[in-house]
Amino acid sequence: LSPDTTINFCRARMLAPDGRCKTFDAAADGYVRGEGCGMVVLKRLSDALADGDNIFALIRGSAINQDGRSNGLTAPSGPAQEAVLRAALSQAGVTPQEVDYVEAHGTGTALGDPIELHALANTMCRERPPEQPLLVGSAKTNIGHLEAAAGIAGLIKVALALHHEYLPPHLHFQQLNPHVAIGGAPLEILKEGKAWPRRARPRLAGVSSFGFSGTNAHIILQEAPAASAVPAAAPAADGMQLLTLSAKTEKALRDLARRYAEFLHQPAAPALAEVCYSANTTRSAFVHRLGVVAVTLPALREKLAAFAEKQSVHEMVTGQAKENSRPKVAFLFTGQGAQYLDMGRRLYETQAVFREALEKCDALLRPHLDKPLLAVLFSNQSSVISDQSSLPTDNRSLITDHWLHQTAYTQPALFAIEYALAELWRAWGVKPAAVMGHSVGEYVAACIAGMLSLEDGLKLIASRGRLMQVLPQNGEMAAIFAEEERVAAALADFRERVSLAAINGPANVVISGEAEAVHAVLARFDGEGVKWKRLVVSHAFHSPLMAPMLDEFEMVAGGLEFQPAKIPLISNLTAKPLQFDAGHTPRRYWRRHVREAVRFADSLRTLHEMGCRLFLEIGPHPTLLGMASQCLPTEAAVWIPSLRRGHDDTQQMLKSLGLLFVNGVEIDWEDFHREAPRRRVVLPTYPFQHERFWLAPPSTPAKTVAIAASEARPQSDDWLFELAWQPQPLAPQAPPAQPGVWLIFADQGGLGFALKAALEQAGESCLVVLPGEKYERSAAGVFRLALQDAGQYQRLLQEASAAAAAPLRAVIHLWSLDDERLIENFSVQLEAGQQRVCGSALFLAQSLAKMTAPPRLCLITRGAMAVPAARGPLALTPAALWGLGRALALEHPELRCLRVDLDPDADTAGAAQSLSEELRNADRDDQVALRAGQRYVARLARVEWPAAAAERAASPALASPPGAILITGGTAGLGLQLAQWLVAQGNRQLVLVSRRPPAEPAAQAIAELQQKGATVLVKQADVANADQLAEVLAEIQQKLPPLRGVIHAAAQAGLAELRQSHGAQNLRRVEFARAHPGTAAGVFRDVLFRGCTVGFAWAEQLRRRQCLHGQSGAPSSRLGPAGIEHQLGSVGRSGHGGRTRRSPPKPVCQPGHQSDSTGGRAAPVRALAGGNSAADCRVAAAVANLADQSSRWQRAALAGAAAARNARPAAHCRGAAAIGIVGETCQNRGEEPQPGGVCACSGGSM
């Protein structure tokens, strides 16, 4: 967050120094900035009342005006405020005397407060009775000025005050501002809280909000209608209610239940029906769910409290829904035999949808039944048959003298009940994905599926029952608990008399037929030890005994109109979705349906294969669920009944609805509660599961300078990550829809032209660019341009785009491949490489960034990355190109900068082919290395703590070998602190080099070091100047022991972004900030480090090359960052043109350890105390093998450091914290220390 606004307001004396907003007080000296937001729901009063909303306040009127010119930008205008107050009162149709309270804008400024009070007195207080003063307050004394949200905060405050009938106090008020002269007007600052009860006339309040530039707004609020004015909720049909709750975790769900239990324990808790209605209709549904049925508030409270304590609860269901997935529900319609007296009666009395459906069936059945359906369903004397002798009886019922148990009435009655249940479930939002019925139940299923109209369905089922009623009662049915094949074989001798009636499970088969034949079959199974059970029925359904009715029934079916099913209907006969055609007509199907077996088990498996997991039985009693559970694995389905004999209808339906909800079914709660509208009430809020993500601070003292062996593995060992190369095959991508052109900046070695040939062989088009003395284009389509002329790059892109037949797809930069070997004149190579490699890439990127739709930029190197499979020396200058690529990827994501490091051992043809495939199929990875036919990508990997770290942690790193240590930037900031630390560790020869002479505090600190016995040579020199650096080295050779190490701690900040850089001359001015591969900044590329990565990458590559390949005398150093901006040299203290400094981030590296991205582990050393404490500066450093002072490697490293020291970073580098500590064996080599070495700053590379 930018502090610029706060700084400017402080300078303008607009903010209160003590952080208190003292509105209207004599001590008012400014406001306090706050942060927040507010939201209210606006709704027409009539709609809110009709919907049962909880209303907090009414908006009577409002007004707004703008008069910014009248009194300047920051000074409020009194006349404008008075005008907006009068306009709001007029629009609301109220007088000023009716307003009890005004929520003032009230910023607490010496100028604004008097103006606002004068406006209120002039507008609101005239003709106001003295005993009814205008009360004034401001929420800014409580929460500060929320600026853009200040007005809505005042509105919410007043709405809550009206709701709670209490005006909160106005804080920080002791004495009225002496500049307020309201002449005894009846106006009172609400210093103490005050009750604000309802009275005969509605309570009114005003809310003011005034803008910075002269915009004024005022709104008039009125109390909400009294409870008596709100339509009362209809009384519940019974006390039974369903409450559903949900949360994102199981713990949160139990916490939520606990909140509700505590809430319901309050004396003023809302009614049970209102609580359930509000919870069901106003809360989001998360994956962890519960549903609980209760009759009273105390019962609900006890159940919720028990659940919160993980106790089992009766009448509660819990479950976990699948996120972003709607489960499929199958409706299973019950067959004959489930009927009982008064089935569904409670639903008929309480549920309008059920009642309307049942009454509609009753009306449609009047032509087909002698007795009215409702009279048959619900027990009364008119439904009892007086003459029992001539009627067959269904002995499954305990009451046999009732019309309901006669087949002619049983079948239409079951149809009607099941149809009404299905309509009720659908009204509640439970929609079937498929339907299936068992025997009689399939007729209802066909109606619900849309295949039959209700009228035709009732006609068909009534005819079926009537025709079966008159058949002789000479048959029997029995269930045999054996496999279908075994039962079918037993029926072979009785094929014309007995048949299979239903296959209800793997070992549950029903046979039906003539009584004598059935007895014979059962006797055979008795002999085989197979169990069976005789079914008490009136007729042998689905048997040869049904033959006499088939022709007439087929004629009835033939006279009906059938439609294709809108919902899949699984056929009893085929166990497949039912479809009719010329060879499979409805009339023939329903004839077969009466006679043939019901394949219930197979049908259930079909539903499961269709994805159905919730099976809801639609019937008066769950006769199908028990059989169904034997057909599918337990975990494959949830079995849910609608009604259950002997249980309260409402209770069972609510429990089943809760079970559907907890399994993820989306319920239409508004329709569910439509029978008895409720008032929405305020309920407990969601129990967010708070987690702490702050990194635990280290347990070591702030000034600790060493890590004991027992503490070698720090508490934060899992904080450390490194960039690692991991194998990742290239996934082929779909080719682009339109062709494109590839612009290749070709190298001198031939790879560019080989790549051109490979791409063209794949159907692509290519243009080639070569370095030259001037801009030109050959007849062959090859461009040449001068390296250091930025304008030529832009011209190239314009002409290449014009010359190409298609848009430019990518620009491939291969010029780094000509700069791979270290030459003798290292400084010359460094500067030339920067111009040719990084300079050209920078100019190219700047030109691309100016394009509206730039092509992708691809930077290609060879042998620059330390991939695990790498062999041979690493290329130096190309590594800097990777640093530039990181900066480009951050500053210009539109370029989609891809970096590919080629295998140095691959031949030209192989490298071209691999690169062509990578470029044409590039995926989301933008850092790729190719080695030995394998593709590697950059990944963030956790660093494992070395086993030997504890043994070396306590050993001194620098105190043993004699010799001098040179510190660049050593007379200020971190360099000077390092000098002090080195002396404390026993080092006695130091060389402090800086461009400027030491300041007075630094000179005093250096004198103290000399008093402790140290020899400190202070030299003023610019390490970017080779001549000055040579003089320093010569003087060291004359006056001090051999140079043992170099620490580069100098820094210089710059502000230019890459798009503002001026090519190679700026790239030579790259500074070293704290980002490097061992820190988060090296991985995540913080915006403050992006321009520094070029120098980081080069210096890191030098270090890695030395450490990996062990050149003679080559130092192997690893540098550690520190997070101490306020203790640094020029970077830490530079304001850079007024740019606001920000708090330094906490370093990610661990005390005493630094990883090596090559796979090795640098030795842990002492933690350096930097800044005010070790927590401020945790320096992780590795040690180096030391080279002789005159070695070529030392000169090379110093030259590199010098070139970088003279650099300007492309972004604002906030701090330089580069520390090299030398004198211990390099872990990668195991050699003894040598008397000389250098540490160059590293960072930002892999």
- For residue 820, the model assigns a pLDDT of 54
- For residue 1082, the model assigns a pLDDT of 36
In sequence order, which residues have a C-beta less than 8 Å from that of residue 1138 and are 6 or more positions away? none
Q: How far is CA 94 from CA 61, 63, 198, in A?
A: 9, 13, 18
Report which DSSP code applies to 693.
-
In CATH, the architecture of 3-223 is 3-Layer(aba) Sandwich (3.40)
The candidate with the shortest Cα–Cα distance to 841, out of 821, 826, 859, 866, is 859
Which residue ranges does the chain devote to CATH 3.40.47.10? Answer: 3-223
Q: What is the mean pLDDT of each run of 10 residues along the chain (1246 residues)?
A: 85 90 94 93 92 90 85 78 96 96 93 93 92 95 94 97 96 92 90 94 96 90 77 54 96 97 92 93 95 95 96 91 90 94 94 96 95 86 46 41 86 97 97 97 97 96 95 92 94 92 95 94 93 90 95 95 95 94 88 96 95 96 93 89 95 96 95 82 93 69 37 52 85 72 92 92 89 86 87 89 83 84 54 77 90 91 83 76 87 91 91 91 85 89 61 46 84 87 87 90 91 91 83 88 81 50 47 31 39 63 62 38 35 36 30 32 28 27 28 36 34 30 30 34 31
What's the token pair of residue 390?
A: 């001539």
Which residue ranges does the chain devote to CATH 3.30.70.3290? Answer: 241-320
Amino acid at residue number 1166: R
What's the token pair of residue 82?
A: 């008075």
Q: What is the distance between the alpha carbons of residues 438 and 445, in angstroms, rounded to a whole number?
A: 9
What's the token pair of residue 419?
A: 């149809």
Which residue ranges does the chain devote to CATH 3.40.50.11460? Answer: 749-942
- For residue 1166, the model assigns a pLDDT of 28
What's the token pair of residue 307?
A: 């659940």
Residue whose token pair is 């050959």:
778
Q: What is the distance between the alpha carbons of residues 330 and 570, in angstroms, rounded to a whole number?
A: 10
Which residue ranges does the chain devote to CATH 3.40.50.720? Answer: 960-1069
In sequence order, which residues have a C-beta less than 8 Å from that of residue 555 and are 6 or more positions away? 587
Q: Where are the alpha helices (DSSP H) in 1069-1149?
A: 1080-1084, 1093-1109, 1130-1133
Q: What is the distance between the alpha carbons of residues 406 and 400, in angstroms, rounded to a whole number?
A: 9
Would you identify the CATH topology of the domain 241-320?
Answer: Alpha-Beta Plaits (3.30.70)
Q: What is the distance between the alpha carbons of residues 1126 and 305, in angstroms, rounded to a whole number?
A: 55
Return the ∠ at Cα 202 (arms to 198 and 205), rounded to 5°. Answer: 95
- For residue 1168, the model assigns a pLDDT of 26
Residue whose token pair is 């022991």:
1041
User: What phi, psi does 6 have (nearest 5°)?
Assistant: -60, -45
Amino acid at residue number 954: A
User: What phi, psi does 765 have (nearest 5°)?
Assistant: -115, 145
The candidate with the shortest Cα–Cα distance to 930, out of 898, 902, 907, 910, is 902
Q: What is the distance between the alpha carbons of residues 216 and 206, in angstroms, rounded to a whole number?
A: 13
Query: Could you give the 3-state DSSP secondary structure of residue 964?
Result: strand
The candidate with the shortest Cα–Cα distance to 744, out of 928, 915, 926, is 915
Q: Are 974 and 1219 in contact (CB under 8 A)?
A: yes
- For residue 1106, the model assigns a pLDDT of 61
The candidate with the shortest Cα–Cα distance to 639, out of 647, 654, 623, 649, is 623
In sequence order, which residues have a C-beta less than 8 Å from that of residue 1076 and are 6 or more positions away? 1082, 1096, 1100, 1119, 1121, 1241, 1242, 1243, 1244, 1245
Q: Are 153 and 145 in contact (CB under 8 A)?
A: no
Give the dihedral of Cα atoms 838, 842, 844, 846; nearest 10 deg: 180
Would you identify the CATH topology of the domain 329-380+404-472+539-665?
Answer: Malonyl-Coenzyme A Acyl Carrier Protein; domain 2 (3.40.366)
CATH tag for 474-537 (out of 3.30.70.250, 3.40.50.10190, 3.50.30.10, 2.102.10.10)? 3.30.70.250
For 955-965, the pLDDT digits (tens) are 444 444 678 89
Residue whose token pair is 């230019």:
1056
Q: HSE (CB half, 13 Å, CA atoms) of 6?
A: 12
Q: What is the distance between the alpha carbons of residues 168 and 751, in angstroms, rounded to a whole number?
A: 79
Q: What is the distance between the alpha carbons of residues 1240 and 1204, in angstroms, rounded to a whole number?
A: 10
Q: How far is CA 683 from CA 266, 298, 686, in A?
A: 12, 16, 10
Sheet with 434-437: strands ordered across:
569-570, 434-437, 328-333, 612-618, 638-641
What's the token pair of residue 212?
A: 């910075």
The candidate with the shortest Cα–Cα distance to 813, out of 755, 857, 749, is 857
What's the token pair of residue 1222?
A: 């030398």
Q: Are 541 and 442 in contact (CB under 8 A)?
A: no
Query: For the chain, what's the residue count?
Result: 1246
CATH superfamily label, 960-1069: NAD(P)-binding Rossmann-like Domain (3.40.50.720)
CATH class of residue range 749-942: alpha beta
Tally Cβ neighbours within 10 Å of residue 235. Answer: 9
